Every structure is written in structure tokens, then in C-alpha cells.
Amino acid sequence: MSTIDHLKDHLKQGFNQDLEKLKIYQSFGNDVIEAPKEFVHPLLKFLKSHGHFDFLMDVCGADYPEREGGRFDVVYHLFSSKNARRLRVKARLHQGEKIPTVTDIWRGADWFEREAYDMFGIIFEGHNNLRRLLTHHQFKGHPLRKDYEADHQQHCDSALPIHFDYDPNYIEDPNKDLVPLNIGPSHPATHGTLRVMAELDGETVHRANVELGYLHRCFEKMAETHAYNQVIPYTDRLNYCSAPINNVGYCKTVEKLLGVEIPPKAQAMRIILSELSRVIDHIVCIGANAVDLGALTGFFHLFTYREMVYTLFEKLCGARLTVSLTRVGGMAQDAPPGWFDDVLETCKKIREGVDQLETLLSGNKIWIERTRGVGAISAEEAIQWGYTGPLLRAAGVSLDLRKVDPYYGYETLDFDVPVGSNGDCYDRYLVRVEEMKNSLKIIEQVAKNVPSGDYTIRDKSIVLPEKKDVYGNIEGLMNHFMLVIKGLRPPAGEIYDATEAANGELGFYLVSDGSAQPYRLKVRPPCFAIYQSFPKQITGGLVADVITVLGSMNLIAGELDR
């Protein structure tokens, strides 16, 4: 029995609504249910309680202005950690129509719905704080609608004062002498562009709120106005601490839509790049977290190893940080001779560095006192919020897409998934350290036996011919010309695909209308879901712990705000 029949069967048994109105089908390997909007809430509730779909990965909108039967799509992406299955639920909405919120089923839906409101003007009924999230408070209109010009800028001339989310259960106590505190967006501990607002009762955080969008650079709108391969440099700048993983995630999605498989050598190179990126991402996270708590040595020490990886990237392609090295169909170029030996050599050095880091921090009394028990979260709560990656594993859930939904041959490699137990900042640190070791283990396995062969597929409607062919023979010139003029055109359809990034599940929801540009590209950034739990996590704690928790979440503004 296929998964889709299984799903139908399951719904028939438990879901007492008119099943005729649901459209259940499979599209490019994804299971999809199209439901009328009034069915969405009970359906999602049923799928969560009876269908084992415990994660709500993403909620987003899509705009089809010319379409009959409703202009907007509201798309929910579910994931089941029991059997690693995914399900997409879609509902159509006319302009001005409302859809019930699902924040009562998953708390993690909060910001995703707010973003859909901000970008498309979709109203979620019953949402307590349906305000703008990413664009500034003076912004007019909804920028991801198709009738909004991509370069139509609206200027902002002030910052919002300290404000808090509306909470129906919050009772103001006039006898308390609360001190308002604003941290950021320009603050040493806010790592770029985060803003934390709090009310303090002595040293304790009484309530808190965050504001984001200070680095909202319109990735999704830019993707809609560029050709498929031109989007790759934009993906670099999502999580710029581990840029190659984003390249891989995006290209993997487009390749899945095209239905092509990349050659083994490209797969090996992508694994090596991804794992090197995971290591340097964790280096930045741990280093910066330690700096925030006053341990400057860790940063200087770890950056030596980060520079080593930069040198490897530079050898490979000339760029240090934003490498843009993947292309749809493979890699942009082959590795230079001896590069894989350099990788092995560097791994050896980094391994020593990680060991030294452990002696520096793991048993350090100050470090333990500052991190143990701080920001602890239970597994159930973490799933509620949509945690993925190291933070979820620190809370005790062994979920790693490289294991449960492997790609590029991860299933053949020998590595462990480290799991914590308390979900506090110390566990997060330990999980990251172990992950670095395991990543090095993976790299060594792959770099020792790199498959021979081509580094990209040679489909002339997908990949540009090599320069020597373009200048050397007429066929190469013609193919180059045709692909540049016509563009890479995947079939019309939509797909959701996810990669295990350094911070967790990096998902891309791609809608193609058969043209040379994506019709809609939604990123599911891992730290977006994690950060929305932040105000809740710091409330009741000490103000000094705010910085610890913030650092342990590894928030990268580029992917948070996009």
C-alpha cells in the first residue's frame, strides 16, 4: 500500500468530515492534501493527534492573482518524526477571506502566520498578535504579492518604542516597579541585528519580546525575479556562517523538481562542503557564545581553524565566505589536484583544535555555572515550537535528516547523532562539539575515497557547457547560447525539500510555473522557529542569562529575516 492510500485510509477511519471535498494526491514525491479553508483547522488537529504528524515545519502563503477559486494559497508543511514522512496541506483563499489560526495546535505557527500576514495580507482568525513581522512599521502593502514591484522601496524614519505581545493571560501588577530594558539592534551580544525588549523586576526578566526584520533583504522576492542559477548567490547570504549548505539545499530542491540525480563525485564534494560548513558554523556559534560570556580566548583560538577552512574554500573556488560553488546539476567546477588531501590534512588540525576547545570549556567551572540549567527546554515543548537541529537534539530528540531521510549517500557513512538530555545551553554546547567531531569523521570517510568521474551532469538544457567548448566548437557555442537565452526551465509544479543545515532543517518550498524563474520560493529557516520561543524561554530568568540563551541559539540574521 502506498503512503497516499495509507493516508486516505487513515482519514476515512478517523476524520469525520466530508472526504469528497479533500483532494489527496502525490506531486513530485510529496504527499499533498488540498482542503477547503474551513476544514484546515480540524484536519491539522486530526493529523497531529492521530496521524503522527508532530511537527509543523512551515506555514506560508503564495499568490496567484489570476486564478479562479481564490487568489491565495495557505500552505502548511507537516513532518512526522515517527516515520520521517512529510505532508503538505493547502487551502485556497479569496482576497479578504480569513482562515483560522493553528497557533492553538502548534505554538510554533505564531511567527510563520505573522510572516504570511506581513507578506501577503492573509488574515489568520484568532491569532493574538497579527502584526507586521519582517517589514518596518511604516510599510504599506504586502510585498510578496505579485502586484508589488520588487524594487519599490518605502522609507522608515523612526524605530518602534519598547513594546510587548498581547497576551490574554497577562495581568498587570501596579505594585511592581518594573524597569524597561532595550537590548539591540546594535549591541555586542545581539550578533548583528536582533532586538530584545524586556521588563525587569530587579535582576529577573518579568516579560520579554523581540523584534526582527532589521536584516529583511527580500530574499524571496529577489528569487522570484532571478533565473534559477542566479538565485544561488542569494542563498549563500541566508546563513552566511555556513553558506555552502544553503547552496546545496537549494540546488537539491531544484534538482528534485527536475528529476535529475547528480553524479557521485558531485555528491561527495557537496558532503565535504556541507560538513566543513557545519564545523565552521559551530565554531562561530561556540566562539561567539563564549565571547559574550567573557571568554575571549575561545574566539581567537577557534578562528584560527575557521581560517583554515576558508583557505580550503579559497583553493577550491577563490571565494572565502560566500562560495556559490554548486550549480543546478552538480558543481561549478572540479576540485584542483590535491585538494582532497588538503582537506584530510586540515581535518587533522581541526580535530586537535576541537580537543583543545574541550579542555578550555567543557570542564571550565565558570562556563558550566553560566550555561548549565540555563534556557532548558523539554522535548515536547521543543517540538511544539518547531525546534530542529542541534537544539532539538540537545533536548533529547534524536532527529537528524542525514539519518532519517538521507541524501547523497549519508546512509552509507559511519557517524553518530549526539543527543543531550536537558536541552539547556550546556547540552547545546556539548551537542555542537560532538557534531563537529562527527562531521570531521564524515569528511575523512568521504575524502579518502572520492569517486572518480564528472563533477556535474551534462544535460544541455540544464548545465552550461564548459568554457573550452563554448569557445572551441560550434555545438558548445550553440548550447551555451540556447541555455542563456531560454534559461533553465523546470516543469510546472511544486516541491518541498529539506536539508540538515548547521542549525536544523533548512527547507525550500519551490513553486515553478514552467518559466525560467521560480514562481515562488519559500525558505524554512531553522533559527526562525527556534527564536520565536526566545521571549518565553528568558521570562523568569536572570537578565545575564538572556545573553547566554541568545548566543546558544546561533541566530543568523540572514536566514532569520531573509
Partner 1 sequence: MSEENTLKINASIDPKGMLPESNSLLESSVLTTKLDDFIAWGRKNSLWPLPYGTACCGIEMMSVMGPRYDLARFGAEVVRFSPRQADLLLVAGTITEKMAPILVHIYEQMLEPKYVISMGACASSGGFYRAYHVLQGCDKVIPVDVYVPGCPPTPEAVLDGIMALQKMIQEGAPRPWKENWKNPFEHTLPEIEGAFDEPRGFHG
What is the binding site for partner 1 (CB under 8 A)?
134-136, 138-141, 143, 148-159, 185-188, 192-193, 213-218, 221-222, 233-234, 236-237, 240-241, 243, 284, 299-300, 303-304, 306-307, 310, 320-322, 557-558
Cell of 205: 526578566
Could you tell me the smallest distance in angstroms from the CB atom of residue 237 to partner 1? 5
* Nearer CB in complex with partner 1: 108/526: 526
Determine the angle formed by the axes of helices 3-14 and 37-50, rounding to 10 degrees: 100
Is the alpha carbon torsion for 266, 344, 438, 415 positive or negative?
positive
Rounded least distance, CB 122 to partner 1, Å:
18
**Residue 143 beta carbon to partner 1: minimum distance, rounded to whole angstroms:** 5
* Residue given cell 523581540 in the structure block: 210
Residue closer to partner 1 (CB basis): 27 or 138: 138
Query: In whole angstroms, what is the distance from residue 269 CA to residue 510 CA?
Result: 24
Three-state secondary structure of 215-261: CCCCHHHHHHCCCHHHHHHHHHCCCHHHHHHHHHHHHHHHHHHHCCC
- The three-state secondary structure class of 434 is helix
Task: For 92-118, give one letter per residue: b (16+ CB within 10 A) or e.
Answer: bbeeeeebbbbbebbbbbbbbbbbbbb
Place of cell 567531531: 437
Phi and psi torsions of 194, nearest 5°: -95, 150
* Residue found by looking up cell 537534539 in the block: 393
* Shortest distance in whole angstroms from residue 58 CB to partner 1: 21
Closer to partner 1 at the Cβ: 221 or 480? Answer: 221
Nearer residue to partner 1 within complex by CB, 19 or 150: 150
- Pure H helices in 69-108: none
In angstroms, the CA 139 to CA 118 distance is 10
Q: At 13, list the grid cell.
A: 477511519
- Residues 83, 423: Cα–Cα separation, whole Å: 23
Give the shortest CB-311-to-partner 1 separation in angstroms: 9
State the nearest-atom distance from the C-beta of 561 to partner 1, in Å. Answer: 8
Nearest to partner 1 of 223, 269 (CB atom): 223
Measured N-to-C along each axis, helices 339-361 and 425-448 cross at an angle, to the nearest 10 degrees, of 160
3-class secondary-structure state, position 509: strand
Whether 400 and 390 have beta carbons less than 8 Å apart is answered as: no
Angle at 95 between CA 91 and CA 101, to 5 degrees: 50
Q: How far apart are CA 317 and CA 504, in angstroms?
A: 26
Shortest spacing between CB 365 and partner 1, in angstroms:
26
Residue 216 or 522 with smaller CB distance to partner 1: 216
Task: Kindly tell me which of 37 and 301 has the beta carbon lying closer to partner 1.
Answer: 301
Query: Closest CB to partner 1 among 304 and 421?
Result: 304
Complex with partner 1: residue 301 or 372, whichever CB lies closer: 301
- Shortest spacing between CB 556 and partner 1, in angstroms: 9
What count of other Cβ atoms lies within 10 Å of the Cβ of residue 406? Answer: 15
Find out whether 523 and 536 touch, Cβ atoms under 8 Å: no
Q: Please report the sign of the dihedral spanned by the C-alpha atoms of residue 275, residue 408, residue 243, residue 340.
A: positive
Judged by beta carbon, residue 300 or residue 471, the one nearer partner 1 is: 300
* Complex with partner 1: residue 230 or 333, whichever CB lies closer: 230
Strands 98-100 and 123-125 come out as parallel
**Taking the complex as a whole, how short is the minimal distance between the CB of residue 206 and partner 1, in angstroms?**
25
- Nearest distance from C-beta of residue 97 to partner 1, angstroms: 22
**Rounded-to-10 torsion of CA 356, 357, 360, 365:** -140
Nearer CB in complex with partner 1: 43/309: 309
Minimum distance between the CB of residue 267 and partner 1, rounded to whole angstroms? Answer: 27
We find the least distance from the C-beta atom of residue 288 to partner 1, in angstroms, to be: 8
